[in-house]
Structure 1
Amino acid sequence: MTPLLTTKGLSRSFGGLHAVRDVDFQLLPGEIRAIIGPNGAGKTTFVSLVCGRIEPSTGAIVFDGDDITNLPAHQRVRRGIAYTFQITSVFANLTAYENVALSVQRALIDKHQDRAPQKRAAALHRGVMEALERTGIASHRAALAGNLSYGHQRLLEVAMGLALKPRLLILDEPTQGLSDGEIESFIGLARDISGEATVLLIEHNMQVVMALADRITVFNAGRILAEGAPEEIRSNVAVQNAYLGTAADA
């Protein structure tokens, strides 16, 4: 199977700090891939390079066969890459509905420019409600985003990503701030999403990682330390020493 995403020798330095070092990475279509590792391992920098938030110092990024290394972030969104942030980036003074509508409107402009205004309005409403319902926050659609709990803001951001109809959905610590029940619902949602999009997630909750991931990539000191199926990673001594022992104690 041809990879959906490939990075070749991807690196990013900030002054003397090598946040990401010479990373070769492949992600297959329809996969749920988890990225784990200790704080400061380079995980968020890596996905920020993939989505175009920051530029690489060296290396290349290929998405669906095309080199996107020099594409700005908004053009990557148009190609089907959606990213939710480690820290929520919702528009606090807009309602949950309006936040998601911004994403749906972007998708409609890109895909249905010739659609009549009435039909576009109906499609907008359907798209917003579908995303809100799938993430379990439709009942909060009229609430200002800034008034939502942190966990619901996280889910709202996932809804905004889903509304873009991405081919690759990148989630940075999506379960942070969620209750146990919300985490269980998120696991089901992520599995559902993988039927229509590839999922790449950074996650510290190892129960979520082990329940969801087809494969796991472990970062340490800006490099890939190990990759493999969940059981392979669980039994990897180097991973245990670098991360899993600490994660289990947390």
Structure 2
Amino acid sequence: MASVTLLRTKGLSRQFGGLKAVNDVNFAIREGEIRALIGPNGAGKTTFVSLLSGRIAPSAGSIEFLGNDITARPAHKRVRDGIAYTFQITSIYPMLSVFDNVALSAQSALQRSPGAKPAVIAAKAKEALEHVGLSDRLRDRAGTMSYGHQRLLEVAMGLALEPKLLILDEPTQGLSDGEIENFCRLVKEISRSATVLLIEHNMPVVMKLADTITVLNHGEILAEGSPENIRANAAVQAAYLGTG
């Protein structure tokens, strides 16, 4: 595994009124890693990744991506830098076809390469859909698909952006057991060319996929380590794994 730090936060914080949703978080993820971010509901996970992607601004602290300070960089420019974020709630274009949804992402990515032709955009879109198992749904209207397939479509849209860091927020929600197995194979494949940050409640998926697990609780890092270490951590069991 590469040892180059892809993204780092220092003292990252976000307050909403008197609520410290994210509090003084120091976090680093390496290139080529599959990192899982877990924690109980309300732990600050979605707020944290929204800070990383630029959807919200921090109250304090900094974010570095490939050694560059991106704390004040807007979300659309972070996408160009190589940070793609699939949302906890699907953000597809429901009236467009499955193909057109992904082609829009591919077109955005290829704008970095002057002279990108429609055929190249189409090929990139089809490749991304092939990866997630939706190549037979190209012409379907996106909004008519099941929730689980819409989640896979959103992953394909993220892949078409050719990200260096792909943030997946609750990607297995709404997927069947068979689809979850296929998703796990997909993430392993993605990790060959991109770093993956996975926010997930499905603990078997987390334990199967993650190289390292970061546990958030009350907006702070409670623990960090290998799946084996996290499973055995008494504080994590009390705060999260031992509940429900």
Q: TM-score, normalised by structure 1?
A: 0.96
1:175 corresponds to 2:172 = yes
1:113 corresponds to 2:110 = no
1:150 corresponds to 2:147 = yes
Shift of residue 143, structure 1, vs aligned partner: 0.9
* Whole-angstrom CA distance in 1 between matches of 2:18 and 2:184: 38
* Whole-angstrom CA distance in 2 between matches of 1:124 and 1:3: 30
* Whole-angstrom CA distance in 2 between matches of 1:43 and 1:11: 12
Name the amino acid aligned to 1:182. E
Shift of residue 138, structure 1, vs aligned partner: 1.1
* Corresponding position of 1:125: 122
Q: CA-to-partner distance for each residue in 1:171-195, whole Å, 9 max, x for gaps?
A: 0000000000000000000000000
Name the amino acid aligned to 1:25. F
What pairs with 1:1-250 in structure 2 (closer than 5 Å)?
1-110=3-112, 112-115=113-116, 120-246=117-243, 249=244
Name the amino acid aligned to 2:134. I
Q: CA-to-partner distance for each residue in 1:63-115, whole Å, 9 max, x for gaps?
A: 000000000000000000000000000011101100001000001111x2134
Name the amino acid aligned to 2:153. L
* Whole-angstrom CA distance in 1 between matches of 2:17 and 2:174: 33
Name the amino acid aligned to 2:49. V
SS in structure 2 of the partner of residue 178 of structure 1: coil
* Whole-angstrom CA distance in 1 between matches of 2:33 and 2:230: 17
Name the amino acid aligned to 1:214. D
Shift of residue 2, structure 1, vs aligned partner: 2.9
* Whole-angstrom CA distance in 1 between matches of 2:30 and 2:64: 12
Residues paired across the two proteins, number:
242
* Whole-angstrom CA distance in 2 between matches of 1:182 and 1:139: 15
Shift of residue 228, structure 1, vs aligned partner: 0.2
* Whole-angstrom CA distance in 1 between matches of 2:141 and 2:24: 42
Moved more, 215-224 or 139-148: 139-148
Moved more, 122-131 or 59-68: 122-131
Name the amino acid aligned to 2:228. E
CA RMSD in angstroms comes to: 0.6
Shift of residue 122, structure 1, vs aligned partner: 1.1
SS in structure 2 of the partner of residue 4 of structure 1: strand
Q: TM-score, normalised by structure 2?
A: 0.98
Shift of residue 158, structure 1, vs aligned partner: 0.1
Counting aligned pairs with the same residue, the percent is 65
* Whole-angstrom CA distance in 2 between matches of 1:162 and 1:113: 20
Q: CA-to-partner distance for each residue in 1:169-226, whole Å, 9 max, x for gaps?
A: 0000000000000000000000000000000010000000000000000000000000
* Whole-angstrom CA distance in 2 between matches of 1:2 and 1:61: 16
SS in structure 2 of the partner of residue 170 of structure 1: strand
Where does the alignment leave 5 or more consecutive residues of structure 2 unmatched? none
